[in-house]
Amino acid sequence: MSFGPNPWHQAHWDWRAAGNFVAGGAGAGLIVATAMSSAAGPVRAALLSSGLALVGLGLACVWLEIGRPLRALNVFRQPRRSWMSREAIVAALLFPVTAAAAFVRPELGWAAAALALAFVYCQSRMLVGARGIPAWRAPIVSPLLVVTGLAEGLGLFVVSAPWGGVGRDALWALALLVALRAALAASYRSRVLPTVAPAARRVLHRAAAWLLHAGTLLPLAALGVAVLLGADGPAASAGAVLAGLAAALGGAGFKFLLITRAAFNQGFALPHLPVRGARRS
């Protein structure tokens, strides 16, 4: 059913919209993690550039989704009312500032991190603004997506452990973000599951299982191995890489299911039905 009193699946945001949240959130998180780390030189430049590439990939997915791509500049016209416009404006600032921090002025790293955090926040608010979709509109979705993006980005940063620049502080920070993401996801499910359609509830159960096993238990176990073996050595590096990949892929899978599969509209709500011949009160 595509229209009627019962909930129906929205048909406007597909894998391309999900690609923006997956790639853009992870890229912004990678920029934040790199800017706040002690990485320097070519490794720092490569990681910041990779973060920008992921953000650009996500925005390209959105551009492909537009029915008239040549009118994409219209997205900048409503910054007072649209979180998508704010995301685009922040992205326009994020690219030159992060590029300068990577190749010209390393001291701009903090500005790049702030813009990247603002970018992922704007993304999260776009979902909350979709009032007609119960799985998206809960206020807790915003901090959940922000923490997910930061965990994905830090996970990708930890993947660079074999090239240096990743110490125990980054591993502990990743463990904290993964645990915080799991706690927010559990709170999200407890608040949202009673309000969504049965089909959306089944999808959210699948997403929760994916996030728990692939995105939480596996990275925490791998991080435990890496910490026990120390920050150096091939075994510790392998554990860090596995933990980083699992943290990133767990968040990506969760966001993909949330946006493309759990997005059922609420249907019509008619608490008072007209009755022919009834006297008005």
Q: Look up the pTM and report it.
A: 0.88
Q: Which residue has the tokens 């590439």?
A: 53
Top-level CATH class of 15-260?
mainly alpha
pLDDT of residue 192 exceeding 50 = yes
Which two three-digit tokens encode residue 77? Answer: 């016209």
Contact 29, 152 (CB under 8 A): yes
Per domain, the residue ranges of the chain are 15-260
Task: Give the separation between CA 57 and CA 156, rounded to whole angstroms.
Answer: 16
As a whole number, mean pLDDT of residues 7-22 equals: 86
Task: List the helix and strand counts (H, then E) for the chain.
Answer: 11, 0
Q: Which of 270, 258, 269 is nearest to 17 (CA)?
A: 258
Please, what's the largest Cα pairwise distance for the chain?
Answer: 83
- What CA–CA distance (Å, rounded) separates 135 from 261? 10
For the record, the structure tokens of 141 come out as: 């979705």
- What's the pLDDT score for residue 165? 60
Q: Where are the alpha helices (DSSP H) in 9-82?
A: 15-19, 25-35, 41-65
Measured CA to CA in angstroms, residue 30 lies from 37, 110, 139, 159, 196 at distances of 11, 13, 24, 11, 32
Two tokens at 120? 């992922």
- Rounded to the nearest 10°, the torsion over CA 80, 84, 88, 89 is 20
Residue 147 pairs in a beta bridge with none
Is 95:58 a contact under the CB 8 Å cutoff? Answer: no
Comparing 20-29, 189-198, 251-260, 269-278, the range with the smallest average pLDDT is 269-278
Question: 10 Å Cβ neighbour count for 276?
Answer: 4
pLDDT in tens, 85-133: 899 899 999 999 999 999 999 999 999 999 999 999 999 999 998 888 9
226 confidence band (pLDDT: 50, 70, 90)? confident
Percentage above 90 pLDDT, the chain:
60
